[in-house]
């Protein structure tokens, strides 16, 4: 029998013991043996701390791009994970939530890089002035903790459970040690093997322990973070570990909870809301066979509707087919194992001491395509507790399977009280089309729930559902739910960062934070700041402009142009009792005039105005007032470029408007889109092309591909004949659905892929040499290139078809030429 492997200290290692069997939930067969005997957990944690330096040094942008690359890599390999997921008892839908939901967490957290600075640490909040003179101030920075994230995960989501946590700690710059639940660790192992094989993460960023690790908390340290997902009982035991307490180790607990779903009094049979409610409860009972920490355990309904709900739910559950999760007709698979079935039955029996079992059976279950005796199958179970204020088992015992209990309420206050009697949950929901009811429930129940979903006819079609935590929202809850928080966008990342208050002068804090702080010393730019590319602009880089005097005519013309005829600008007879003394310049005229003073008129790296932030007018400006501007780089923010534009970043400029007496009269932060340097490709001038061709000899071997030097030259000649319009009798080969994306790639600075087959290879007879020798081929190439240049000189507005990129104009053919020549000249070491 194969043993599962642990990925620790940079290698795949098997334990030295006999191993513990992991079972197929459907057939009962042994999948593999889990073994961690002989592993040194102290060494594993220390390895992560030491190797984690590579991850900590990466910027948020680099970490985010790393996550995105990993998500794409795993998505291409997802089919193999589905096959293993079926062995955990999960259906295709269940597996999709786990597998692609996990990858979705990588994508979602990758996108958060846009909210962080382009450096390895975060600057939080606004600066704080600690002095009257503005020369002593404070700011908060958040740096990656220098420990490891120890994740102790539950069995129900072996992929999502790992990636929803790791995505967050990796974005923060902290490595992870993952300890999945043993019975489904074989699926986690398969995903980790692909992650390690990808070489996308720096070494040490991820370690995996696929079995028992009872002593793993014995050597955690204050810089580590421990997260736990599982039962509340086990969570409390781990949270009270002496090392956790002695080292003050952050411990995030997400425990199973008795989540409640409420049917509003208005949602009577016949309304869309009643049907939505029944569908949602059925789904939460049967998805993952009810093995979700967010599943609906308590169904709280108006007492006059309890019979209707019971009947409707029974009919809905009748449609749920149980069996081999590989079969399309199966809607609910098996529980994770027979031990889990036994545990669920014991919990049901405890609740049923006061509640009535109204649907399902604890021993009989009809299955499709499987043997009910060999697999861990269980019928959906619906109970009814008519006295929920007296009988506490329903609020205290959780059957972690396809089990829910209906209970009645007389009014909304009772419904809220019942929801709170679970003593804290991850999620609650209410289905109502009455927004007053929704507000009353949410406001009064929120103290006991980590998330509340309001469902009605308007939101239901697009709702992600009661049981679906989202990467952008906090996942956790108070009390029984563990009191922790996971995910939650930026909030989740901050759990792995140390917040530190920094005090000092504005100049010093500018250097520390990478953000220009008001009153810091300026760094006078050697040339106009708008002449610099994004990489060369630095916070503090500054320009002082010449002066301008506002005239009465300026103000009147601006009013006429904008139709802004506010009295202070146009009616000087109405100024009595106002804060204005005479005709006043419009605030937006001041900003516009400031732009006129600092904008560089010529074409350059600044490609567009991107927006305006934090605009303040500190005192009125009147006609005949004179101003000048101080333009200073405040901050740089990286950005993704998806369309037909060159790579660029955002620069935030701090604009200070001063009057003739050097008094500050207005401030604003303006944003510009600034192009990044193109340093990937050599510019293909006539001289450079001939220099490369002169180096080319017939016996040169390519670095990749099968082309000979003459094949390469003749291929280039053929593509120039396309670019000159001589050859246009072909169809665009790129599928329409991705053509725009491929076309847009002309504008990026990425090299062409190696070994990509030219779509017109057969039409161009690329394998056949057409010239007698290389020298003759080069002559034909130069002639074809001259024809291309001459065509666009005579037809500057023309577009010509390209087989891969679609219709291209003159500039886009230039971009393609640069990429294409660089690709093939590099292929033969000519650059």
* The two three-digit tokens of residue 465, written as one number: 């559902």
Burial of 460 (0-12, 13-18, 19+ CB in 10 A): middle
**Rg from Cα positions in the chain:** 33
Both tokens assigned to 614:
């934090």
Q: Please write down the HEC assignment for all residues of 732-766.
A: CCCCHHHHHHHHHHHHCCCCCCCCCCCCCCCCCCC
Contact 664, 658 (CB under 8 A): yes
How does DSSP assign 438-482, residue by residue? HHHHHHHHGGGBS-EEEE-TTTGGG---TT---TTSEE--SGGG-
Q: Which residues pair with 502 in a beta bridge?
A: 139
Q: Under a CB-based contact definition with an 8 Å cutoff, are residues 183 and 84 in contact?
A: no
Residue among 830, 796, 826 nearest 813 (CA): 796
Handedness of CA 806, 809, 810, 812 (dihedral sign): negative
Q: Are strands 356-359 and 298-302 parallel, antiparallel or unpaired?
A: unpaired
Instruction: Report DSSP state, residue 677.
Output: P
Q: How many Å apart are CA 436 and CA 413, to the nearest integer?
A: 13
Residues 6+ apart with CB under 8 A from 719: 820
Q: How far is CA 680 from CA 102, 482, 540, 676, 695, in A?
A: 34, 51, 28, 11, 21
Q: Give CB contacts under 8 A, 24+ apart, made by 396-399.
A: 396/258, 397/347, 397/350, 397/351, 398/256, 398/257, 398/258, 398/297, 398/347, 399/290, 399/297, 399/344, 399/347, 399/348, 399/351
Cα(421)–Cα(427) distance, integer angstroms: 14
Instruction: Name beta bridge partners: 11.
Output: 8
Neighbours of 234 (CB within 10 A): 16
Return the closest-CA partner of residue 297 out of 374, 400, 377. Answer: 400
Q: Which tokens go with 242?
A: 């002496």
Residues 586, 568: Cα–Cα separation, whole Å: 9
The alpha carbon dihedral of 282, 285, 288, 294 has a sign of positive
Q: At what angle do helices 810-827 and 774-794 cross, to 10 degrees?
A: 160
Residue 425 DSSP class: B
* Selection from 66, 96, 86 nearest residue 195 by Cα: 66
Select which of 254, 486, 717, 812 is catalytic: 254
Neighbour count for residue 250 (Cβ, 10 Å): 19
Q: Is 645 a catalytic residue?
A: no
- 633 catalytically annotated: no
Cα separation, 301 vs 306, in Å, equals 6
Supply the DSSP symbol for 564.
-
Question: Quick check: 707 and 767 in contact, CB under 8 A?
Answer: no
How many C-beta atoms lie closer than 10 Å to residue 130's C-beta?
12
**At which residue do the structure tokens 């880089």 appear?**
541
Please state the separation of Cα 701 from the chain's center in Å.
43
Decide the pairing of beta strands 497-504 and 648-659. unpaired
Contact 513, 141 (CB under 8 A): yes
Active-site pick, 164, 284, 293, 485: 293
Catalytic residues, by residue number, are 254, 293
């Amino acid at each position: 029998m194969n043993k599962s492997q642990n990925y620790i200290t940079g290698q795949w290692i098997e334990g030295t013991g006999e191993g513990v069997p992991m079972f197929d939930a459907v057939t009962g067969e042994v999948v593999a043996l889990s073994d961690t005997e002989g592993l040194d957990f102290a060494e594993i944690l220390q390895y992560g701390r030491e190797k984690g330096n590579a991850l900590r040094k990466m910027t948020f942008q680099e970490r985010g791009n790393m996550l995105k690359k990993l998500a794409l890599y795993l998505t291409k390999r997802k089919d193999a994970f589905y096959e293993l997921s079926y062995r955990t008892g999960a259906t295709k839908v269940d597996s999709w939530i786990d597998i692609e939901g996990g990858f979705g967490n990588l994508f979602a957290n990758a996108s958060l890089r846009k909210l962080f600075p382009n450096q390895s640490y975060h600057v939080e909040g606004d600066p704080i002035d600690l002095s009257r003179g503005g020369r002593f101030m404070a700011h908060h920075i958040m740096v990656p903790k220098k420990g490891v994230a120890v994740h102790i995960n539950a069995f129900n989501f072996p992929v999502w459970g790992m990636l929803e946590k790791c995505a967050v700690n990796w974005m923060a710059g902290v490595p992870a040690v993952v300890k999945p639940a043993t019975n489904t660790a074989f699926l986690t192992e398969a995903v980790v093997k692909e992650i390690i094989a990808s070489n996308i993460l720096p070494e040490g960023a991820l370690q995996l322990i696929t079995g028992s690790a009872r002593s793993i908390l014995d050597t955690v340290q204050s810089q580590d973070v421990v997260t736990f997902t599982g039962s509340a009982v086990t969570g409390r035991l781990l949270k009270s570990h002496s090392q956790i307490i002695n080292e003050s180790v952050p411990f995030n607990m997400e425990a199973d909870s008795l989540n409640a779903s409420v049917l509003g009094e208005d949602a009577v049979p016949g309304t869309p809301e009643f049907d939505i409610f029944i569908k949602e409860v059925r789904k939460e009972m049967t998805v993952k066979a009810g093995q979700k920490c967010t599943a609906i355990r308590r169904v709280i309904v108006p007492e006059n509707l309890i019979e209707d709900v019971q009947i409707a739910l029974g009919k809905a559950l009748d449609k749920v087919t149980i069996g081999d999760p590989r079969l399309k007709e199966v809607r609910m698979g098996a529980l994770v194992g027979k031990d889990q079935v036994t545990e669920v039955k014991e919990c049901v029996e405890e609740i049923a001491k006061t509640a009535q079992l109204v649907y399902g059976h604890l021993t009989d279950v009809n299955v499709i395509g499987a043997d009910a005796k060999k697999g861990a199958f269980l019928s959906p179970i619906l109970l009814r507790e008519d006295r929920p204020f007296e009988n506490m088992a329903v609020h205290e015992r959780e059957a972690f399977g396809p089990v829910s209990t209906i209970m009645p309420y007389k009014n909304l206050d009772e419904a809220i009280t019942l929801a709170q009697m679970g003593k804290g949950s991850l999620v609650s929901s209410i289905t109502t089309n009455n927004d007053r009811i929704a507000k009353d429930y949410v406001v009064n129940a929120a103290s006991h729930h980590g998330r509340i979903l309001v469902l009605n006819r308007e939101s239901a079609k697009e709702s992600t559902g009661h049981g679906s935590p989202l990467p952008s929202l906090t996942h956790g809850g108070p009390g029984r739910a563990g009191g922790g928080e996971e995910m939650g966008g930026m909030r989740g990342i901050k759990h792995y960062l140390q917040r530190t208050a920094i005090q000092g002068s504005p100049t010093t804090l500018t250097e520390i934070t990478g953000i220009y702080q008001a009153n810091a010393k300026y760094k006078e730019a050697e040339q106009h700041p708008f002449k610099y590319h994004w990489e060369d602009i630095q916070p503090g880089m500054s320009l002082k402009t010449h002066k301008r005097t506002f005239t009465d005519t300026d103000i009147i013309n601006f009013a006429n142009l904008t139709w802004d005829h506010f009295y202070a600008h146009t009616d000087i007879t109405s100024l009595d009792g106002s804060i204005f003394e005479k005709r006043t310049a419009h605030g937006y005229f001041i900003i516009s005039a400031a732009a006129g003073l600092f904008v560089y008129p010529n074409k350059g790296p600044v490609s567009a105005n991107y927006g305006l932030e934090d605009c303040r007018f500190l005192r009125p400006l009147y006609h005949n007032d004179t101003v000048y501007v101080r333009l200073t780089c405040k901050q740089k923010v990286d950005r993704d470029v998806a369309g037909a534009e060159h790579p660029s970043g955002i620069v935030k400029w701090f604009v200070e408007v001063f009057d003739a007496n050097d008094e500050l009269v207005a401030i604003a932060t303006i944003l510009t889109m600034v192009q990044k340097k193109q340093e990937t490709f050599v510019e293909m001038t006539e001289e450079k092309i001939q220099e490369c061709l002169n180096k080319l000899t017939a016996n040169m071997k390519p670095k990749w591909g099968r082309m000979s030097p003459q094949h390469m030259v003749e291929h280039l000649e053929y593509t120039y004949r396309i670019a000159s319009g001589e050859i246009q009798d072909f169809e665009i080969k790129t599928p329409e659905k991705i053509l725009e994306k491929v076309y847009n790639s002309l504008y990026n600075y990425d090299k062409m892929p190696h070994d990509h087959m030219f779509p017109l290879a057969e039409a161009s007879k690329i394998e056949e040499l057409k010239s007698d020798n290389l020298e003759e081929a080069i002559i034909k190439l130069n002639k074809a290139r001259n024809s291309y240049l001459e065509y666009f000189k005579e037809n500057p507005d023309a577009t010509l078809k390209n087989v891969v990129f679609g219709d291209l104009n003159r500039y886009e053919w230039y971009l393609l030429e640069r990429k294409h020549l660089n690709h093939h000249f590099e292929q033969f070491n000519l650059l």
